[in-house]
Structure 1
Amino acid sequence: MRRLLRVIIVSGIAIATLLLVVAGTGIFVVRHSFPSYDGTVELTGLDADVEVVRDGNGIPQIYADKPGDLFAAQGYVHAQDRFFEMDFRRHVTSGRLAELFGKDALETDKFVRTLGWRRVAEKELGLLTPATRQYLDDYARGVNAYLATHAGSGLSLEYAVLSLKKLNGPDYRPEPWTAADSLAWLKAMAWDLGGNMNDEIARTKLAAKYPATNIESLYPPYPYDRNEPIVPTAAMTKGGTFTTAPVDSEARRAMLTTDLLKSLDSVDKVAKGLPQLLGRGDGIGSNSWVVSGEHTTTGKPLLANDPHLGATMPGIWTQVGLHCNNVGTRCPYDVSGFSFSGLPGVVIGHNGAISWGFTNLDPDVMDLYLEKFSGPDAVVFDNKIRPLVKREEKFKVAGQDEEETIVVRESRHGPIVSDISDDARDAGKLAGERLKNPEAYGIALQWTALTPGKTADALFAINRAQDWKAFRAAAAQFEVPSQNLVYADREGHIGYQAPGQVPIRNRGNGDWPAPGWDSRYRWTGYIPFEAMPTEADPDDGIIVTANQAVVPKTYPFHLTDNWDYGYRSQQILERIRAAGKLDANAMASIQLDTKNRNAEAIVPYLLHVQINDEFDRQGQDTLRNWDFTQPADSAPAAYFNVVWRNLLELTFHDQLPKETWPDGGSRWFEVMRKLVTQPNSTWWDNLGTTQRESRDDILREALVNARAEITTKMARDPSGWQWGRLHKLTLTNQTLGKSGIGVVDKLFNRGPYELGGGSSLVNATAWDASEGYAVTATPSMRMVVDLADFDKSRWINLTGVSGHAFMSNYTDQTKLWVRGETLPWAFTRGAVEANRKHTLTFTKPEN
């Protein structure tokens, strides 16, 4: 994407011209798209007037008499604040980025179109309840009302800059918004929050080089003895059993040919090249927990949530309140929280009776299947030739007259993703030749999100739910992506529910690509909702979810082996147990916890190593008496993390393929925790030297190298070391902010900001140890809901509600977020009125 967007800006645009535009007409161009938060607007289709009240942070609270009016107003408001983001998202999810950005976006489009996100979304429309379908149409009506009176630079500054390239001409006018545009965003959510395709590919590549025991040491089992699962007493009263037989030798031999490994490389590369929407990889998780009244100062529950997602500009979430003037059967919504631009309703938040939060369950809902082709139009399945389903996809490409065309092929398992690139297709053919097999090979993806479902129904049902029974009934419809749902209500109840479609495999457990020609590896169904983990009012009054294991090993169904390893969840649990009575501020303080439990395990080994040089020993000495917390101004945190990065590099870079180098997250915490107890493991040996290194050799070298690195980057004296000076967050616009041209980047990006925290800490400001120390994912928002008094709840967004660069609400919440502060969360009408700064009224058009 970086190369793509640089081409967009540079090609055909003289920098001098851009500077002239920015300098000469900058004020007009920048402010031209700023929406009005006050006044009166006619909106077709209203039953009665709708009022939008905004506070000083621009957060809208919408009041209407009917749901249709409420969601139409939300559509208008989202378009006011974030239409370019919405337009960009729908181009991604429809596989139409090339229409905006030219040929360099075509590979991404082919991948998305091959998976068929938009096609599935269109099929889902017919499955939804009439009410949900109507709400989606109402929302689209509001968006389109805004589009009817705004275009080009009047919609967003990004369009003004893009018009200089003239890819779509200076008068580019977005097409009308549709219900399917909203539903397609749910596919992006499912892609970013579900599946282990990358791990399947990585394991297969490693299998070409290492025996199984070496590979499994890099994927250690969950440490149930140290870190508790979400539902530690899970059991089954009914349901089936599950087998985990290994993939057979024929499939393994086929997958380990050089050319099929190249094919996997191609799929992996294209998948990772998708624009960052929610984000993928380590660091993409969340914290959410709930405590009952026995743990609070009010005697009522408290619920906290902070989803860890990719750090983008604008932030992923936008805050909103949706209020029926008279809440009842006719208009049942009185809800406030965090929403996605482009999607009606509230995703995470509370209504007048309950509150809920999400963390990623991350079950294994994706399987790669190796397919044997029999000619271009069929595959082998159970020794018979089975035809492929084929469809043609056409792509309009900005800057060229001719459309591009591909043929998408699908087996019974799903789309043939190895068709996406020429390299991958050729690799499959070569694999067949080298195996002396007349059939070529390809790779298909089976994924739960490619089956149309009713998740949109679930979102509205959750917004309406008034008790645990209704909440669970809503969750039963939440098919993808599977999430950990935590719950609290004003009656004092708390709960946990795992929803979603999680496949039951007849054979194998989804860790490796399976042989598509063998029906024994089919999916036989999904875990019944009744058998999915759930808990209501646990005896200890505490439920913590932080992507750790959900259930003990005795649970009869296979959810995943891809858990976070529980370092965050256990720290949260211990903080709660030690806290005594909690209030909203105490809950928020736990969200800011920076203790590094990995450092706590590794530092004793680092201190044990003998270092003779006084200069090098100064670094090691900073780790003595460290409390293992990582605030931005911490010297020992700075040094430890530089040591950690060097340690991973020295231990693994010489032996692992680059694309599998350690990112330093919780899996690598667990890998290294075990490895340091094996001082003569072959992993310690540096293959680039003639001698054989041991653990202490590598630990010493990491300490010495880190001392040199941190001295170069910061200061000779440890008193000048600060973790935040290395660990910086730059909020980057997903498109033009990656141009690489300073003046353009400065228009849209903000930062850098110096942060504390780190990967797999409660304050999860993730960084990738294979790349550097820069922040790659963050708590995208933080909220604490007080079920005793909703107006005493707290919330904060990573950026602000506005997507308009230079508007006051573009990053007005960021400095507060960086400092760990939150905003008061007004919910009742009285509290909203006390903070009223702007009023926009929608009225019916006069006849």
Structure 2
Amino acid sequence: MTEDTTATRGPWASFLALPRAARVTSYVAVVVVLALVAGLATVVVLARRPLPQTSGELSLPGLEAEVEVVRDEHGVPQLYGDSLLDLVRAQGYVHAQERFFQMDVRRHATAGRLAELFGKDAVESDAYVRTMGWRRVAQRELALIEPATRAALEAYAGGVNAFLAESSPTEIALEYTVLNAGGLDYHPEDWTAVDSLAWLKAMAWDLRGNMAEEIDRVLVAGSVGEERAAELYPAYPYDEHAPVVDRGAVVDGVFEQDATTGGTRDPRRPAFTADQQAPLARLRAGLARMPSWLGRGEGLGSNAWVVDGAHSATGEPLLANDPHLGVDLPGVWMQTGLHCRRVSPECPLDVAGFTFAGVPGVVIGHNADIAWGFANLGPDVTDLFVERVRGDTWHYDGRERPLHVRTETIEVAGDEDVELTVRATDHGPLVSDVDDVVDVVGQVADLARRQGPAPDEYAVALSWTALQPGTAADAILALNLATDWDSFRAAVAGFAAPAQSIVYADREGHIGYQASGLVPIRRSGNDGRVPSAGWLPENDWTGEVVPYEGLPRALDPEGGVIVAANQAVIGEDDYPYFLGDDWDQGYRSERIGRLLDQERELSVDEMAALQLDDRNPLAPVLTPYLLGVRLRPGYADDGQRLLDDWDFRQQADSAAAAYFNVVWRELLERTFHDELPEESWPDGGNRWMSVVTRLLEEPGSPWWDDLATQDVVETRDDILRAALVGARDELTALISPTPREWTWGDLHELDLRSLPLGESGIWPVERLVDRGGWEVGGGAATVDATGWDAREGYEVTTAASMRMVVSLGDLDASRWVSLTGVSGHPFSGHYSDQTDLWAAGETLPWRFSRDAVVADAIDTLTLVPVPEDG
């Protein structure tokens, strides 16, 4: 899963951008008073009140038969029932027990209603989401999904609402105690099926594609010119880093993995239209002058790979997955199992894995027959259109057309309501009306004027495939029930947004890969990489999408290994459709593939160890240049000497890794900050590694010159020398004057914050809900992808949200771990009880068979039907 810098704080924090100083409200002050006056004991009582009942017996209205909820020592629930609807009803109840505040904040966020809870500082994000219309799209999706999926969503909502009906706000979550102590008087409303569907829009937004990149291309080119900007945006290195699928072509509209050339076997009709060929040719020709920005929030993505039995010590496939997302509390995933006591056509569910609190079913995991893992596909599914707007009309194809206008009211806690006017053209909502991040009208005005006369007003509309109603909820349920390659492919055909790379394995020994998602086909006037003039019809999307049958896939490839780590999906030459240019540069995928090829009998433990590989891909390239710079002996060069025998690994206790990464940040600042706009400064991720790798071979490049120094022209070695000395100074100030006392983990710390209370600015409140202090290794572009942003510091901003390895030969031998824990309650023992294991690179046994689950059981809760007369 890969969906700009605001995205790096997590799946909903990308649009919850509340200023820290403004988040100190009356309810926070009340908590502080409560803690001081009533004492710690009272706070503990209030904090423990929401902890769920996990043993004994509870009534759950709507059940047809008993459901057992078996929890292990980490609180992971495995549910056993006699029907699919009973199981998802019980899942809704258990999710609400552990995570309802998280679910409630998510639904307020996806409906544009955060201001109802958190006041005026949330109005801007609410206006943005309302303009996008996420919930409106979700409401339309409810009518499109299969009746069985709708029944499951309604049953899930019934379980959630049963928990709400029996619980007061103080029994649901500590956060409600805080909010209501501040005078909010809030009582959660019932959960609905639309609430579940809307959350999938938030995940699609987090992994949405290149909307920010379109903006940044214009900004950077405006600062340094298109020719110099092109040097900063290298094309994907196909010759060095293989795509996910390295063979095959589209023949008569269908992707065939053994085809060597594309086209058609039927001379009466082409495989694709001339209009569809033109943008491919134009994109190839324009790579040098139309740069590609790889910066949707460094670290968002995934590692997913699968090996066949020939590469496995078990003789059966092994599948690994670790999606990289934001680092918040509680984490995005909740481990859960859903099992029919007797699997039959009437009760077909037998699945376990990682779930979203708020959505029924298992999103990533395995059932009794197949396993699957996700990596963000990252295609170009968004386009910005610069519109000529005059009053209530917009200009298109030589005439004025009426804008689509609606008015919405945003309720604001403690303040006046806000009336929001949402305007849209046929291309989509005018996001520039409400959001500063995408309001680039001034910056793109020059682009617009080159294509037509100046209008009265410019605005920016967003086209995004996720704003079309889809059937992702159908796909999740169908995945849970799939039994083989064909049923798996049929299931993921409905996974429209976010677009995903999905790896597959089954117990018959097959492995596979399928790309999924809606990717628009553009007309020749729109290459999707910079904002387009919205008044020109030739810039429009065609209204068609890349057909599912034409998306790359592979079944049992000759090499027996499939790696999907956000690299390019397939080579450009023989593939007729444009999927995108903004791929990860392939450092992780190449490293994973190389290590897998070296081992012919991989064990589960070895697969899990590979997820922790922390070799910096830039270090072997940059370090020789750093060692070649002469520094004054003593203070100046004692940091440099750490690099002499460094193995390029970024372990938490490595002094050399600490020094190298500080040098890297210094190098980026001294090379690029003087010429690039601040919003486009380097984040230090994989694209910048590729840029600097090429730039190191040009010691006299103008990029090395510091414009702040007059009458001096700096070269590469001047900047490297300054970066080495600057890093020595910074580490002396941050850690110690003694280099051997430096450690990468001391800088690269993982802190987990519970939003929004965890960023209230009030220390007692933050201590209640936040956890932190884990010193971790890894880094940007390493397989152990603990991302950090060079514009901000060294703290971890993205990381593996979970890790799993599935053994298809023995499902009970599989392993898993979550970044946080099952519970969303700060005083639960399962709030962050897996983080220590995660940080240490350890995993938990993932029991699947009934006997194994029961053997590890700590608590069993029995949910029973309510008697008819009850």
Same fold, TM-score > 0.5, yes or no: yes
Q: 2:216 maps to what in 1? A: 202
Paired AA for residue 208 in structure 2: G
SS of residue paired to 1:597: coil
TM-superposed deviation, 1:215:
1.7
Residue by residue over 1:740-770, the C-alpha shift from the partner in whole angstroms, topping out at 9 and shown as x without a partner, is: 1111111001111100000110000000011
Q: 1:629 maps to what in 2? A: 649
Alignment of 1:696 onto 2:717: yes
1:206-245 correspondence runs (5 A): 206-239=220-253, 240=272, 241-244=276-279
Contact in 1 for aligned 2:431/2:439 (Cα 8 Å): no
Q: How many Å separate the matches in 1 of 2:598 and 2:312?
A: 13
1:381 corresponds to which of 389, 396, 405: 396
Q: 2:411 maps to what in 1? A: 396
TM-superposed deviation, 1:830:
0.4
Residue by residue over 1:615-635, the C-alpha shift from the partner in whole angstroms, topping out at 9 and shown as x without a partner, is: 211111111121101110111
Paired AA for residue 510 in structure 1: G
Alignment of 1:586 onto 2:606: yes
Contact in 2 for aligned 1:283/1:759 (Cα 8 Å): yes
Contact in 2 for aligned 1:429/1:441 (Cα 8 Å): no
Alignment of 1:771 onto 2:792: yes
Q: How many Å separate the matches in 2 of 1:426 and 1:580?
A: 52
Residues 21/396 of structure 1: CA separation in 2 closer, same or farther (3 Å cut): farther
Q: 1:276 maps to what in 2? A: none
1:500-539 correspondence runs (5 A): 500-507=517-524, 508-524=526-542, 525-539=544-558
Alignment of 1:359 onto 2:375: yes
Q: 2:114 maps to what in 1? A: 97
Residue by residue over 1:712-741, the C-alpha shift from the partner in whole angstroms, topping out at 9 and shown as x without a partner, is: 222222211111011001010021000111
Residues 430/351 of structure 1: CA separation in 2 closer, same or farther (3 Å cut): closer
TM-superposed deviation, 1:9:
3.8
TM-superposed deviation, 1:640:
0.2
SS of residue paired to 2:674: coil
Q: 2:154 maps to what in 1? A: 137
1:370 corresponds to which of 386, 408, 418: 386
Q: How many Å separate the matches in 2 of 1:609 and 1:429?
A: 40
SS of residue paired to 1:768: coil
Paired AA for residue 117 in structure 1: W
Paired AA for residue 459 in structure 1: I
Alignment of 1:711 onto 2:711: no
Residue by residue over 1:561-596, the C-alpha shift from the partner in whole angstroms, topping out at 9 and shown as x without a partner, is: 110001011111111111231010010000000001
> Which one is further off, 702-711 or 777-786?
702-711
Contact in 1 for aligned 2:804/2:816 (Cα 8 Å): yes
Q: How many Å separate the matches in 1 of 2:175 and 2:63?
A: 31
Q: How many Å separate the matches in 2 of 1:758 and 1:647?
A: 17
Q: How many Å separate the matches in 2 of 1:665 and 1:749?
A: 27
> Which one is further off, 234-243 or 798-807?
234-243
Alignment of 1:300 onto 2:316: yes
How many matched pairs? 813
TM-superposed deviation, 1:295:
0.4
For structure 1, which runs of at least 5 residues remain unmatched after alignment?
A: 248-278
Q: How many Å separate the matches in 2 of 1:644 and 1:423?
A: 27
SS of residue paired to 2:428: coil
Alignment of 1:783 onto 2:818: no
Q: How many Å separate the matches in 2 of 1:579 and 1:740?
A: 50
For structure 2, which runs of at least 5 residues remain unmatched after alignment?
A: 1-15, 254-271, 284-294
Residue by residue over 1:354-409, the C-alpha shift from the partner in whole angstroms, topping out at 9 and shown as x without a partner, is: 00000000101000000111x32211111121111111111111113x42111111
TM-superposed deviation, 1:174:
0.3
Contact in 1 for aligned 2:67/2:863 (Cα 8 Å): yes
Alignment of 1:23 onto 2:37: no
Residue by residue over 1:480-503, the C-alpha shift from the partner in whole angstroms, topping out at 9 and shown as x without a partner, is: 110000000000000000011101
Residues 428/659 of structure 1: CA separation in 2 closer, same or farther (3 Å cut): closer
Residues 75/730 of structure 1: CA separation in 2 closer, same or farther (3 Å cut): same
Contact in 1 for aligned 2:372/2:503 (Cα 8 Å): yes
Contact in 2 for aligned 1:371/1:441 (Cα 8 Å): yes
Q: 2:141 maps to what in 1? A: 124
Paired AA for residue 333 in structure 1: L
Residues 425/801 of structure 1: CA separation in 2 closer, same or farther (3 Å cut): closer
Q: How many Å separate the matches in 2 of 1:295 and 1:426?
A: 51
1:334 corresponds to which of 350, 371, 378: 350
Alignment of 1:613 onto 2:633: yes
Paired AA for residue 400 in structure 2: I
Residues 324/6 of structure 1: CA separation in 2 closer, same or farther (3 Å cut): farther
1:70-81 correspondence runs (5 A): 70-81=87-98
Paired AA for residue 380 in structure 1: H
Residues 429/221 of structure 1: CA separation in 2 closer, same or farther (3 Å cut): closer
Q: How many Å separate the matches in 2 of 1:752 and 1:149?
A: 37
Residues 21/305 of structure 1: CA separation in 2 closer, same or farther (3 Å cut): farther
Q: How many Å separate the matches in 2 of 1:834 and 1:4?
A: 49
Alignment of 1:662 onto 2:682: yes
Q: How many Å separate the matches in 2 of 1:426 and 1:642?
A: 33
Paired AA for residue 518 in structure 2: Q
Residues 421/70 of structure 1: CA separation in 2 closer, same or farther (3 Å cut): closer
> Which one is further off, 698-707 or 606-615?
606-615
Q: 2:181 maps to what in 1? A: 164
TM-superposed deviation, 1:22:
5.7
Paired AA for residue 817 in structure 1: W
1:638-649 correspondence runs (5 A): 638-649=658-669
Q: How many Å separate the matches in 2 of 1:818 and 1:425?
A: 39
Alignment of 1:553 onto 2:568: no
Residue by residue over 1:420-455, the C-alpha shift from the partner in whole angstroms, topping out at 9 and shown as x without a partner, is: 169998967996999973431100000000000111
Q: 1:684 maps to what in 2? A: 704
2:428 corresponds to which of 394, 414, 430: 414
> Which one is further off, 232-241 or 12-21?
12-21
1:730 corresponds to which of 751, 759, 769: 751
Contact in 2 for aligned 1:291/1:302 (Cα 8 Å): yes
RMSD of equivalent CA atoms: 2.1
Residue by residue over 1:249-286, the C-alpha shift from the partner in whole angstroms, topping out at 9 and shown as x without a partner, is: xxxxxxxxxxxxxxxxxxxxxxxxxxxxxx96111111
Q: How many Å separate the matches in 2 of 1:17 and 1:283?
A: 40
Q: How many Å separate the matches in 2 of 1:159 and 1:769?
A: 36
Alignment of 1:284 onto 2:300: yes
Q: 1:457 maps to what in 2? A: 474
TM-superposed deviation, 1:342:
0.4
Q: How many Å separate the matches in 2 of 1:771 and 1:598?
A: 20
Q: How many Å separate the matches in 1 of 2:199 and 2:562?
A: 29
Contact in 2 for aligned 1:312/1:734 (Cα 8 Å): yes
Contact in 1 for aligned 2:323/2:802 (Cα 8 Å): yes
Residue by residue over 1:316-373, the C-alpha shift from the partner in whole angstroms, topping out at 9 and shown as x without a partner, is: 1000000011112111110000001001100000000000000000101000000111
Q: How many Å separate the matches in 2 of 1:495 and 1:422?
A: 42
Q: 2:263 maps to what in 1? A: none
Residues 671/429 of structure 1: CA separation in 2 closer, same or farther (3 Å cut): closer
Q: 1:318 maps to what in 2? A: 334
Contact in 1 for aligned 2:24/2:761 (Cα 8 Å): no
Contact in 2 for aligned 1:418/1:442 (Cα 8 Å): yes
TM-superposed deviation, 1:3:
5.0
Contact in 2 for aligned 1:564/1:666 (Cα 8 Å): yes
Q: How many Å separate the matches in 1 of 2:22 and 2:72?
A: 40
Q: How many Å separate the matches in 2 of 1:534 and 1:53?
A: 38
Paired AA for residue 796 in structure 1: V
Q: How many Å separate the matches in 2 of 1:2 and 1:509?
A: 31
Contact in 2 for aligned 1:2/1:739 (Cα 8 Å): no
Residue by residue over 1:471-521, the C-alpha shift from the partner in whole angstroms, topping out at 9 and shown as x without a partner, is: 001111111110000000000000000011101111232110011111111
